[in-house]
Structure 1
């Protein structure tokens, strides 16, 4: 690429990964023209959605204010299509944004299910408040479902909270951490039903496969993810799930001027394809910021390497459990519980806004696990989990 003129960098999505990439590029190369596109101008703290879901005030953070110190331009709007051959993104209102390099950071979303809320729905907090003596049914006992159920049970002790799952809650954890988690669910009087599958959610009830109906006042759906069809519709190579297929440097295998990061990318490592979490997404963004800078300097990008460290889980505001992991995300023998786990989770899973506001870019090597070294900057998993 012409490093003197091809410096228009367009980033789609202002989640954790998009924000990290924008700041990383702009702070590394002051000559780059970095623009970030997002449908809203409010930053969503996805790591803490389980807190917002029960009405906790996390504060309002405007995206333009966060981007301004780094000199990143912000455009509010929704991408309708990518015209990859023209290096253009067309917005749903007809505006066009040109790019030389594109960073695809749209992420994933929970599927919308009739008569059920998702964790990012602001109306969910109101529904809980209005049914504080009623029944909440959480469909899916992955980490998202567990954190939502425990927050609700602690915030509304008069509410009956039910957790439904095909398998054991937090099945990805080791036996000791999982046993501690189960004791916390029991302490909070959360009803756990395993070996069940939800057929559909009806007004006032959840219907199980087999026909049984469980009365409920509020239903929360936390299982499965969906990926935006934007890349596939543009002719960009995607995997079977709709994630952008990338090479070792996180560049699209069909369009090398496009990087894909976070949940939106099918990032393959030696142990398999990375599953969508902020723990892996932010390192992919930091690496891409470094790679884009290298391209602007006429250098080749380096391969991305990542290994998992932990599975931190909040169990309300007064308890937590941390399962430490091997690089492939399988549980190791180590875990934390109680106050130590709370302190750890607050340290590593606190808002990354402080990184965005920093005057120094975060080196990509500091955000992943390389050569067996652990770091303490990786946030906790925050994506919607598959039904365990």
Structure 2
């Protein structure tokens, strides 16, 4: 093999699409990620509800590409020496590093949250906990954003004997248009889920939630309140924003270490006329594809992006497609019902195919 050695760490939407694209060129590419199969993160609520979710093999995505996959976890970055340390004791030198470790559930400073609540990453454990319970009880989902809404509706539909309560510090779906938020609340009500808005959780215990409006008893707590960037970027010395995401320029290069490119939820990407992009697969995959073109010489232009819509699953037969302006502000129009579900399903099922 000829050319530079490019190391990609992380095999999520951004990392895997970047590795697959860069692997079309002449450089030697090493992907470091413990997963043997793609982690389809936006379908975790379906796994929690007991539905089967297709997860392609990483090797299948990378077939025919000049990429070596090391199924291990990165433990340390030596930016000065340009080396990556892994948990199996390896140390790899790189010419260019693609940092794509993404984000994870943020527990914040809420006492007991990490100890007593399930996160979306633990969807399979959550499914076993509910399915194996001796009797139905109450599931409290904390978080009024898209992840919380999808989990609450999916669980309420899949386990009708259980009481599902969606607890939010603000308004559930508060960023949506009036029509969009009204539809979300309508579906939650139809599924028998109880909505507790303006209830900030101050602690999680074995008995449920403690909120600023009083206790909410729950047999199972699911935490979907917020996300945070993986801390390795800040620990290694990359320049990061206040939320821990790495600061990058228009070509997704680290402002402090230009030999490092950062993509996906790990990057604080500023797009002219739009501002900082939010964490989402809808923004991560375009960054991965763009970086592949940049590093294989197929473009020299800065990264460009425009929003179009946001999709939220509302159980098996419903979904909300919220139309948005290019700058991420909402339009009044929404698509719901069976058509909304078809649009959402088409996008979600097509994501693994578009990784290549």
TM-score range, shorter chain: over 0.9
Following superposition, the deviation at residue 350 of structure 1 comes to 1.7
Q: Distance in 2 between matches of 1:227 and 1:175?
A: 30
Match of 1:380 in 2: none
TM-superposition CA deviations, 1:194-215 (whole Å, max 9, x none): 11100111002111125x2211
Where does 1:138-217 land on structure 2 (aligned, <5 Å)? 138-209=141-212, 212-217=214-219
Q: Distance in 2 between matches of 1:234 and 1:170?
A: 36
Whether 1:7 and 2:4 are equivalent positions in the alignment is yes
Q: Distance in 1 between matches of 2:14 and 2:228?
A: 17
Aligned length: 347
C-alpha contact 1:150 1:315 (8 A) present in aligned 2: yes
Q: Distance in 2 between matches of 1:51 and 1:186?
A: 20
Where does 1:1-388 land on structure 2 (aligned, <5 Å)? 6-27=3-24, 29=25, 31-112=26-107, 113-121=114-122, 122-131=124-133, 133-209=136-212, 212-269=214-271, 270-294=273-297, 301-356=300-355
TM-superposition CA deviations, 1:278-306 (whole Å, max 9, x none): 01111111111111112xx8xx8321111
Following superposition, the deviation at residue 26 of structure 1 comes to 1.3
Match of 2:111 in 1: none
Q: Which moved more, 1:177-186 or 1:61-70?
A: 61-70
Following superposition, the deviation at residue 105 of structure 1 comes to 0.5
C-alpha contact 1:227 1:243 (8 A) present in aligned 2: yes
Q: Distance in 2 between matches of 1:145 and 1:351?
A: 23
RMSD across aligned positions (CA): 1.7
SS at 1:345 equivalent: helix
Unaligned runs of 5+ in 2: 108-113
TM-superposition CA deviations, 1:73-112 (whole Å, max 9, x none): 1001111111111111011232011111111100000025
TM-superposition CA deviations, 1:226-278 (whole Å, max 9, x none): 22221222221111111111001111111111110110000012332111000
User: TM-score, with normalisation over the residues of structure 2?
Assistant: 0.93
Q: Distance in 1 between matches of 2:73 and 2:351?
A: 24
Unaligned runs of 5+ in 1: 358-388
C-alpha contact 1:53 1:120 (8 A) present in aligned 2: no
TM-superposition CA deviations, 1:94-145 (whole Å, max 9, x none): 2011111111100000025220000110211111212472110000111100
Match of 1:369 in 2: none
C-alpha contact 2:318 2:340 (8 A) present in aligned 1: yes
Note closer, same or farther for the CA distance 1:84–1:6 as it changes in structure 2 (3 Å cut): farther
Q: Distance in 2 between matches of 1:279 and 1:40?
A: 21
Q: Distance in 2 between matches of 1:262 and 1:32?
A: 22
User: TM-score, with normalisation over the residues of structure 1?
Assistant: 0.86
Q: Distance in 2 between matches of 1:94 and 1:72?
A: 21
Q: Which moved more, 1:59-68 or 1:77-86?
A: 59-68
Q: Distance in 2 between matches of 1:18 and 1:84?
A: 19
Q: Distance in 2 between matches of 1:317 and 1:301?
A: 43
